[in-house]
């Protein structure tokens, strides 16, 4: 999912979210502002409504959202969220990305190689337990380590006691900690997916724009013990569909936002991290485009990877454009200074918060010194590669497991291991030729950032050009074999000394990567979290505790009406598009070419049926696949994107032109019925007999 900037801030940034008049908020379900909704819309949200939404909403481990829409484990999500699975199940002979997929019988549903789905069961406030773990006045690095150890202990106790997935989530940058307990599904199967050409109609040119014409949806199914899961708390499909002006709700898992970020953090993003990441994305995209152009098979293999990188590039471009607007930073500075003045009005407040913002600014000054090598070596090395992350997991797995649970890297603690093992031992195909292309980009990035004379770089290259080194590293690795991964993961000494070329690359990087991670956790994370938790407390002191936390890839609920808008040329943009608009926009040339099946079905379709629509709901990356529901709790659509104007909503909410974009439930039914003839699905959704 994706989301940019206009000069519409007024006084919104100067007041807390809880008192804003607009429909702002990515709300925790246990802190939802029921009274605000009742006063504005006359709709009473009760605990039963919220519980139903919580039980039916799911999180996918690849970064997306979804929902149960039948009592038999049927999951509704985006095509681009399920595309990992669709691409992994595809081959040159059966290209489900190109041709679509429909299991006409349950026995034809295909198991996704490494997809995990989580359904939230319970939220418990564990703030007191986590914060009590650190001794008063302890150094910030020690406090950070103690709190992480406490989080690990809480997760392990919960997981051992219940058998569920348990995650301690940091809210308000350490101002609050919640334990989320999930039911986990690891047997997830593909039921239906349209062709990519219609799911992502318009491709990269239309991405983050509106009007849109995308059937960006798919169906999966959760299984337990070989049978469809029993999911009585599901969201029923609306018989009428979306209507202009109606109140809607979106439940999902937004990944991250920067609404509560300090000015120092925003300036760091503007000047350091976002430009660096965007540049790196551009290099990976160029390599994948060149690779794709070599053959139709290369194009098929790279399609999902390329779309993901292009989507991220466009999103970061929008974020960066917002941060470069002087007014945004100016308004954020005003907001920050207003809060500082308010909480420092008393001697007690001044003593408590006097140095807080300065400590954050100092930490980010230090972070500038090593952010880029830290990103390349530890945070996200070898972007676009499937094989390198596997090599790193195999290398670290045995070494971390040998340590006490509370001394491990957080991703290797006992409660996290089942999910990590599913990913590490996935049967998903590895494509060596594409791996060579992206590993070459990675090696060139190391040369650019660290220098060709850096000892680690010299050892990696071994007097080879980066292109040759990439070929040797990929071709000399046996980690495409799951059996080999399992063998080496169980033998940490052998893994560390292995001659496997991809493992050797991971080994050469590992010491410096770990050193930079330790520096980050002790010098940056510890300081920022400690100070940010004080800032969160300052907001509580100044405005009360009704503010919502920034996104953390945990379940949130947002609301807002179906509503068109006027674009920057003051032209009216209607709330919905229809099938007639789809065919009008189709040129026959990619990415505006419709599949043959759609051309043949045109006469059977009701061309005035709503296809895509927009709302003012507050959504962000990670919300992709979120169900869009009405006040009856019925599905009227699915969120799949936002417009360009809304990308800077990452930092501040506005709704004059900023919109979330959804696929209409009526359009989905029309396509399932008259294009795909998916009668089994229509019956299961209770929209046909």
Q: How many CA atoms lie within 13 A of 476 on its CB side?
A: 14
Predicted pLDDT at 21: 53
User: In Å, how far are 204, 330, 569 from 613, measured between CA atoms?
Assistant: 19, 33, 20
Q: Give residue-wise pLDDT tens across range 71-82.
A: 999 999 999 999
pLDDT higher than 90, residue 375: yes
In the prediction, which pLDDT does 326 show?
87
CB neighbours of 271 closer than 8 A, spacing ≥ 6? none
Peptide bond into 502 cis (omega under 30): no
In the chain, % of residues over pLDDT 70: 97
Q: Where are the beta strands (DSSP E) in 473-609?
A: 556-561, 565-566, 572-573, 576-578
Express each pLDDT in 597-609 by its tens digit.
999 999 999 999 9
Neighbours of 421 (CB within 10 A): 15
Res. 14: pLDDT tops 70: no
**Least confident piece of the model among 173-187, 244-258, 541-555, 588-602:** 541-555
The pLDDT, as a whole number, for residue 592 is 98
The reported pTM is: 0.94
What's the pLDDT at 19? 39
As a whole number of Å, the end-to-end CA separation of the chain is 34
Distance CA 294, CA 311 (A): 22
- The contacts of residue 575 (CB under 8 Å, 6+ apart) are 244, 562, 563, 564, 613, 614
Phi, psi of 392 (to 5 degrees): -65, -40
pLDDT at 12: 28
What DSSP element (H or E) covers 171? strand 165-171
Q: What per-residue confidence (pLDDT) applies to 545?
A: 62
- At 334, which helix (H) or strand (E)? helix 326-343
* Poorest-pLDDT segment among 16-25, 307-316, 626-635: 16-25
Where residue 5 falls among pLDDT bands split at 50, 70, 90?
very low
Q: HEC profile for 610-630?
A: EEEEEECCCCCCCCCCCEEEC
- Residue 377 scores a pLDDT above 80: yes
User: How confident is the model over 126-146, as a mean pLDDT?
Assistant: 94
Please give the share of the chain, as a percent, with pLDDT higher than 90.
90
Place of tokens 């690849």: 62
What are 306-321's pLDDT values in tens digits? 999 999 999 999 999 9
Pairing of strands 660-664, 117-125: unpaired
Over residues 115-140, mean pLDDT: 95
- pLDDT confidence tier of residue 94, bands split at 50, 70 and 90: very high
| Cβ 556 vs Cβ 29: under 8 Å | yes
659 close to 643: Cβ distance less than 8 angstroms:
yes
Q: What's the pLDDT at 18?
A: 38
Question: Does 443 score more than 70 pLDDT?
Answer: yes
Tens digit of pLDDT for each residue in 26-38? Answer: 999 999 999 999 9
pLDDT digits (tens, 9 = 90+) for 381-390: 999 999 999 9
Q: What is the DSSP string of 184-208?
A: EE-EEEEEEE--HHHHTTTHHHHTT
Whether the pLDDT of residue 536 is over 90: the answer is no
Tens of pLDDT, residue by residue over 287-298, are: 999 999 999 999
> Contact at 8 Å (CB) between 371 and 546?
no
Task: Look over the chain and give the mean of its residue pLDDT values, rounded to a whole number.
Answer: 94
The confidence score (pLDDT) of residue 298 equals 98
Provide CB contacts within 8 A for 646, sequence distance 6+: 3, 4, 654, 657, 658, 659, 660
């Amino acid at each position: 999912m994706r989301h940019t900037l206009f000069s519409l801030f007024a006084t919104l940034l100067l007041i807390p979210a809880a008192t804003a008049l607009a429909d702002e908020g990515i709300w925790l379900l246990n802190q939802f502002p029921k009274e605000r909704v009742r006063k504005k819309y006359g709709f009473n949200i009760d605990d039963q409504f919220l519980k139903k939404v919580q039980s039916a909403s799911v999180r996918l481990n690849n970064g997306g959202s979804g929902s149960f829409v039948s009592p038999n484990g049927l999951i509704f999500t985006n095509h681009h969220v399920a595309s990992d699975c669709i691409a992994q199940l595809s081959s040159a002979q059966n290209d489900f990305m190109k041709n679509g997929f429909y299991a006409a019988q349950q026995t034809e549903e295909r198991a996704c190689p490494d997809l995990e789905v989580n359904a939230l069961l319970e939220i418990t406030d564990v703030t007191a337990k986590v914060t009590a773990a650190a001794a008063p006045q302890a150094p910030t690095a020690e406090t950070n380590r103690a709190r992480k150890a406490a989080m690990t202990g809480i997760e392990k106790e919960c997981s051992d006691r219940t058998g569920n997935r348990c995650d301690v989530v940091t809210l308000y940058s350490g101002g609050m900690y919640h334990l989320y307990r999930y039911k986990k599904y690891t047997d997830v199967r593909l039921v239906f997916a349209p062709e990519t050409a219609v799911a992502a109609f318009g491709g990269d040119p239309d991405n983050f724009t509106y009007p849109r014409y995308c059937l960006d949806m798919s169906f999966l199914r959760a299984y337990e013990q070989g049978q469809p899961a029993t999911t009585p708390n599901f969201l029923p499909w609306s018989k009428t569909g979306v209507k202009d002006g109606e109140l809607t709700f979106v439940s999902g898992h937004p990944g991250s936002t920067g609404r509560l970020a300090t000015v120092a953090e925003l300036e760091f993003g503007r000047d350091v991290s976002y430009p660096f990441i965007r540049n790196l994305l551009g290099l990976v995209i160029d390599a994948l485009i060149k690779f794709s152009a070599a053959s139709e098979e290369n194009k098929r293999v790279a399609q999902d990877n390329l779309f993901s990188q292009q989507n991220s590039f466009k999103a970061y471009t929008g974020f960066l454009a917002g941060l470069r607007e002087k007014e945004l930073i100016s308004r954020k500075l005003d907001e920050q200074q207003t809060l500082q003045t308010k909480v420092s009005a008393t001697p007690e407040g001044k003593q408590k918060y006097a140095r807080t913002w300065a400590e954050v600014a100092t930490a980010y000054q230090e972070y500038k010194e090593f952010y880029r090598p830290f990103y390349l070596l530890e945070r996200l090395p070898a972007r676009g590669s499937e094989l390198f992350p596997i090599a790193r997991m195999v290398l670290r797995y045995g070494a971390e497991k040998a340590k006490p649970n509370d001394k491990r890297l957080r991703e290797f603690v006992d409660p996290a291991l089942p999910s990590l093992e599913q990913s590490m031992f996935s049967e998903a195909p590895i494509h060596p030729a594409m791996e060579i292309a992206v590993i070459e980009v990675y090696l060139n990035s190391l040369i650019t950032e660290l220098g060709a004379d850096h000892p680690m770089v010299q050892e990696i290259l071994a007097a080879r050009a980066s292109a040759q080194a990439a070929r040797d590293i990929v071709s000399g690795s046996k980690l495409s074999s799951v059996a080999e991964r399992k063998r080496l993961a169980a033998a940490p000494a052998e893994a560390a000394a292995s001659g496997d070329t991809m493992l050797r690359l991971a080994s050469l990087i590992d010491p410096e990567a770990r050193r930079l991670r330790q520096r980050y956790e002790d010098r940056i994370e510890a300081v920022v979290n400690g100070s940010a938790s004080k800032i969160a407390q300052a907001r509580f002191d100044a405005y009360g505790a009704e503010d919502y936390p920034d996104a953390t890839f945990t379940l949130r609920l947002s609301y807002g009406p179906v509503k068109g808008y006027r674009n920057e040329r003051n032209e009216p943009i209607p709330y919905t598009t229809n099938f007639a608009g789809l065919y009008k926009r189709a040129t026959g040339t990619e990415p505006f070419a419709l599949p043959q099946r759609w051309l043949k079905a045109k006469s059977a379709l009701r061309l005035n049926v709503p296809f895509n629509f927009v709302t003012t709901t507050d959504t962000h990356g990670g919300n992709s696949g979120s169900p869009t529901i009405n006040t009856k709790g019925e599905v009227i659509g699915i969120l799949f994107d936002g417009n360009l104007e809304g990308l800077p909503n990452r930092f501040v909410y506005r709704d004059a032109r900023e919109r979330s974009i959804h696929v209409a439930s009526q359009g989905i039914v029309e396509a399932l019925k008259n294009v795909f003839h998916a009668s089994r699905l229509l019956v299961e959704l209770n929209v046909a007999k």
